[in-house]
Amino acid sequence: MLDYVTDKVQDEARQGEAFAPYASDPNEYKKRFYIESYGCQMNFADSEVVAAILNKEGFGATRNVEEADLIFINTCSIREKAEQTVRKRLTEFRKLKERKRGMLVGVLGCMAERLKSQFLEEEKLVDIVVGPDAYRTLPALVGEAEGGQKAVNVLLSREETYADISPVRLDSNGVSAFVSIMRGCNNMCSFCVVPFTRGRERSRDAASILIECRDLFEKGYREVTLLGQNVDSYYFVDETKDETVTFAKLLEKTALISPLLRVRFSTSHPKDITDDVLYTMAKYENICKYIHLPVQSGSTRVLQLMNRTYTREWYMAKVDRIREIMPECGISSDIIAGFCTEEEEDHRATLDIMKYSRYDFSYMFFYSERPGTLAQRRYKDDIPEDVKKRRLQEIVEVQNRLSLESNQKDVGKIFKVLIEGDSKKNEKEWKGRNTQNKVIVFPKENPELKKGDYVNVKVTDCTQATLLGEIV
Ligand code: SAH
Ligand code: SF4
Ligand code: F3S
């Protein structure tokens, strides 16, 4: 149950809800596709690349799964529960397919990559299986499937970054957008399936990233989040200009597009975030003062088994360094409870490092063994489920307290807030974020304000999840 609760929080907070994209004008298109995404922001960004590829071939997006000729589900393998969610959704698609002849179902993303053609045997209704590096071949695969063959392409690439494809923004608020700057991961954290589903790390051409960000700004967007599994290892050599672009450099170049464009990024591996990045963040007001710095565990012994390559002390020193350079910086984390061999003492070290780091929020999970990972091959998944859940519950409780304390400290402060749209509960209120990535809800008052505007808001009250305020 607990994993469900935290997964749901994760879905809503960072990973967005499963969504259906809008159709521009359905009649313009020869076929209509429906796409639903699960997992991390990178999957959501990929779905926008897929939409662009399909658009070009004359397929239009629809929000309504009932009227789709093609259904795509962009999948995640990070935890077993993520895969179960996809399987359940596929059963629902099966019913639809029984009613509607000729409809095709395609599985995209990490689960497609992990299971490959095995998927076709396990899930009879699936017609197309495409891994994260093979989306350019999607139109051809659709053609094959229409001809009655099962179509699979799960080849991983060392080069593919979809740099030249301008994503079709799906279900966007028109204010903030995600921009993929690299793909894959070379880190091999022992619990993690991503290096297997996404392949080797590669950085996208810096010029194409900047063009995309500039274009977004010109279309009215006011916030870009640069995405990668490990953004701090971004590295691109621009041979035409004889220039090497590090992540710090890329951040700076993006920040210089306009002071009105906020720049965020996700995710940082603690081992790779440099002073250079921290100083660049401090230098530009529009680079948001917020770092997602997943710790995973507070125990050096467990961190070693996880292959995270830093120690508890090293991580704590990194937190100190961030606070030294940017005292106001928000910090959040990912935490895994009950990794192989974890003792109560290790668990207490995790609770302790959370308090030390004073996370504004965290995404919390219990360990889920993934086939093929280093941990699955080397270590026994030996912590009983009830112990994992109890530890996770304790972690959640500590985080709830830290989040509330962090928000309470903000009461009375004034923040510059980017308006993202109506608050979910009340259309007479706006919802926006401050630089630390905290959500602030406040009454609209001034009728001239619109989403995408910046406004100063004084915090008057808070809950554990949200700041409440008024315009000053
Ligand atoms: N690249 C990011 C993480 C991507 S996965 C990073 O290195 O920080 C997001 C989070 O899912 C991870 O940080 C981790 O906390 C969690 N996670 C990954 N594999 C997991 C597993 N097998 N069981 C439970 N949680 C896992
Ligand atoms: Fe997975 Fe580690 Fe890579 Fe993150 S850095 S995607 S946790 S292997
Ligand atoms: Fe999931 Fe793949 Fe992202 S496994 S978390 S969708 S990289």
Residue 436 alpha carbon to ligand 2 centre in Å: 24
Percent of the chain whose pLDDT exceeds 90: 87
Residues with CB under 6 A from ligand 2: 185, 187-189, 192, 194-195, 229-230, 269
Say whether pLDDT at 18 is over 60.
no
- Burial 248-262, CB ≥16 within 10 A → b, else e: bbbbbbbbebeeebb
| Nearest alpha carbon, ligand 2 atom 1 | 192
Domains of the chain: 11-153 (3.40.50.12160), 172-288 (3.30.750.210), 321-409 (3.30.750.200), 414-471 (2.40.50.140)
What sign has the CA pseudo-torsion 7, 10, 15, 20? positive
Q: What is the pLDDT of residue 26?
A: 52
Residue 434 alpha carbon to ligand 1 centre in Å: 26
- Rounded-to-integer distance, Cα 251 and Cα 72, Å: 33
Question: How confident is residue 25, by pLDDT bands cut at 50, 70 and 90?
Answer: low
Q: What is the pLDDT of residue 122?
A: 87
Percent of the chain whose pLDDT exceeds 70: 94
Number of other residues whose CB lies within 10 A of the CB of residue 101: 6
Residue 130 alpha carbon to ligand 3 centre in Å: 14
Question: How confident is residue 317, by pLDDT bands cut at 50, 70 and 90?
Answer: very high
Instruction: Report the mean per-residue pLDDT for the chain.
Output: 93
- The mean per-residue pLDDT over the stretch 79-89 comes to 96
Question: How confident is residue 171, by pLDDT bands cut at 50, 70 and 90?
Answer: confident
Residues with CB under 6 A from ligand 1: 78-79, 191-192, 194, 229-230, 267, 269, 294, 296, 334, 336, 365, 367-368, 370
Residue 42 alpha carbon to ligand 3 centre in Å: 7
- The mean per-residue pLDDT over the stretch 381-400 comes to 98
Instruction: Return the ligand 1 atom nearest residue 191 CA.
Output: 22
- Give 241's contacts (C-beta < 8 A, 6+ positions apart): none
- The mean per-residue pLDDT over the stretch 256-270 comes to 97
| 407-459 pLDDT tens trace | 999 999 999 999 999 999 999 999 999 999 999 999 998 899 999 999 999 99
In Å, what is the CA distance from 243 to each residue of 205, 235, 238, 284? 12, 11, 5, 22
| 286-302 pLDDT tens trace | 999 999 999 999 999 99
| 200-229 pLDDT tens trace | 999 999 999 999 999 999 999 999 999 999
Q: Do the Cβ atoms of 427 and 373 come closer than 8 Å?
A: no
Q: What is the pLDDT of residue 11?
A: 36
| HSE-up (13 A, CA, CB side) for residue 73 | 25
**Helix (H) / strand (E) containing 134:** none
Instruction: Return the ligand 3 atom nearest residue 110 CA.
Output: 2
pTM for this prediction: 0.94
- Give 415's contacts (C-beta < 8 A, 6+ positions apart): 434, 435, 438, 440, 456, 457, 459, 467, 469
Instruction: Return the ligand 3 atom nearest residue 78 CA.
Output: 4
- Rounded-to-integer distance, Cα 49 and Cα 45, Å: 7
Residue 110 alpha carbon to ligand 3 centre in Å: 6
Residue 380 alpha carbon to ligand 3 centre in Å: 23
| Phi, psi for 307 (deg, rounded to 5) | 65, 40
Residues with CB under 6 A from ligand 3: 39-40, 42-43, 76-78, 109-110, 193-194, 197-198
Higher pLDDT, 462 or 117: 462
DSSP state of 49: H
- Rounded-to-integer distance, Cα 143 and Cα 353, Å: 53
Residue 202 alpha carbon to ligand 3 centre in Å: 16
**Helix (H) / strand (E) containing 152:** strand 151-153
Cα–Cα nearest to 42, from 67, 66, 71, 77: 77
